[in-house]
Amino acid sequence: MNTKNPHQTNDSFADIFADVKPLAQDRQHFGTPLKDKVKLVEKLVTIEADSYFSDTYQPLLPVEGPMRWMRPDCDSFELKRLRRGDYVPDLLLDLHGYRQSEAKLELAALIHACVKENIQCCCVMHGYGSGILKQQTPMWLAQHPKVKAFHQAPKEWGGDAAVLVLVDIGDEPHRR
């Protein structure tokens, strides 16, 4: 500290405390850490995939002809529009090279993204390969409550190696 008399009137405050150094501050916040939004969304998608998709459920799907399915409360004209290619998919999901567990999660994430972004039609490209994903994808889609209908894609969207999916985004007019 300064050795001068602090009662002198000609010294300023800055002169008296010129050699004083500030203390270093440790900034530690002892609250619960905030969860990362990405981790929360991934967990939500995993929970959705586990709760909606079963590998043992066998919906009534056609044996012959193109792969197609429609929810009972959906208009049959929607399936016809999918077949003709009237709907243009806004999102594409390519499942080439995925394992079944990964494909299931990606499919749930796609449907979740369609609902969130108000997208009515998407395309899932499962490919040919050994036929596992080609067989499982329609079964998983038929189990999801947000899927209204799906049909084998037209040639320009992948033909019989892809499926066009019609997603139920709600009845509000602002969401169409």
pLDDT in tens, 141-171: 999 999 999 999 999 988 889 999 999 988 6
Domain ranges of the chain: 37-175
- What's the rounded Cα separation, in Å, for the pair 138 and 39? 28
User: Both tokens of residue 116?
Assistant: 């969130």
Residue 98 in this model has a pLDDT that exceeds 70: yes
- Identify the pLDDT of residue 9: 61
Of the candidates 92, 109, 125, the residue with the CA atom closest to the CA atom of residue 49 = 109
User: Both tokens of residue 144?
Assistant: 């999801």
pLDDT class of 5 with cuts at 50, 70, 90: low
- Look up the CATH architecture of domain 37-175: 2-Layer Sandwich (3.30)
Residue 89 in this model has a pLDDT that exceeds 90: yes
pTM of this structure? 0.70
pLDDT class of 85 with cuts at 50, 70, 90: confident
Residue 31 in this model has a pLDDT that exceeds 60: yes
Of the candidates 156, 12, 173, 171, the residue with the CA atom closest to the CA atom of residue 87 = 156
Average of per-residue pLDDT across 27-40:
77
Residue 72 in this model has a pLDDT that exceeds 60: yes
- Identify the pLDDT of residue 172: 55
User: Both tokens of residue 123?
Assistant: 């395309």
- Identify the pLDDT of residue 121: 95
- What's the rounded Cα separation, in Å, for the pair 68 and 163? 9
Q: Across-strand partners of 163?
A: 124, 152
Average of per-residue pLDDT across 119-128:
94
By mean pLDDT, which of 5-19, 53-67, 111-125, 133-147 is the weakest? 5-19
